[in-house]
């Protein structure tokens, strides 16, 4: 029973309450960048300027991803390792696959 709860708990996000508001703020800004890009395309602004905005938005997204990954490893991976058992291996495999997707995207 405790085991099952532990497993369920691990599926929760490990975003701290004080950083959650920060992530939401950054994602709202990224949403605004997506709207800004639509306006630039709508107004047929210069392609190179649109591409500059796409690069800035990609960097902002990557930065959010790296922050989330760091929190995930600090909490979820470390907790699983301390808890012992095969859970840690599963968590590392999952994290490695997420990192591979980030590196290749």
CA distance 15 to 75: 9
What distance lies between CA 43 and its chain's CA centroid?
31
Residues between 53 and 82 that touch a copy of itself (CB under 8 A): 54-55, 57-59, 61-62, 64-66, 68-74, 76-78, 81-82
Angle, CA 8 vertex, CA 62 and CA 25 arms, to 5°: 30
What does the alpha-carbon distance between residue 7 and residue 26 come to, in Å, rounded to a whole number?
Answer: 30
CB of 69 to a copy of itself, least distance (A): 6
* Interaction site with a copy of itself (CB under 8 A): 11-15, 20, 23-24, 27-28, 30-31, 34-35, 37-38, 40-42, 44-48, 50-52, 54-55, 57-59, 61-62, 64-66, 68-74, 76-78, 81-82, 84, 88-89, 92-96, 98-105
């Amino acid at each position: 029973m405790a085991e099952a709860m532990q497993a369920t708990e691990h599926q929760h996000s490990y975003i701290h309450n004080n950083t959650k508001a920060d992530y939401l703020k950054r994602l709202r800004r990224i949403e605004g960048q997506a709207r800004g890009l639509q306006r630039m395309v709508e107004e047929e602004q210069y392609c190179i300027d649109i591409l500059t905005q796409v690069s800035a938005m990609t960097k902002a997204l990557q930065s959010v991803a790296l922050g989330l990954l760091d929190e995930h490893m600090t909490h979820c991976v470390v907790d699983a390792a301390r808890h012992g058992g095969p859970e840690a291996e599963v968590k590392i495999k999952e994290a490695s696959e997420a990192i591979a997707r980030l590196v290749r995207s």
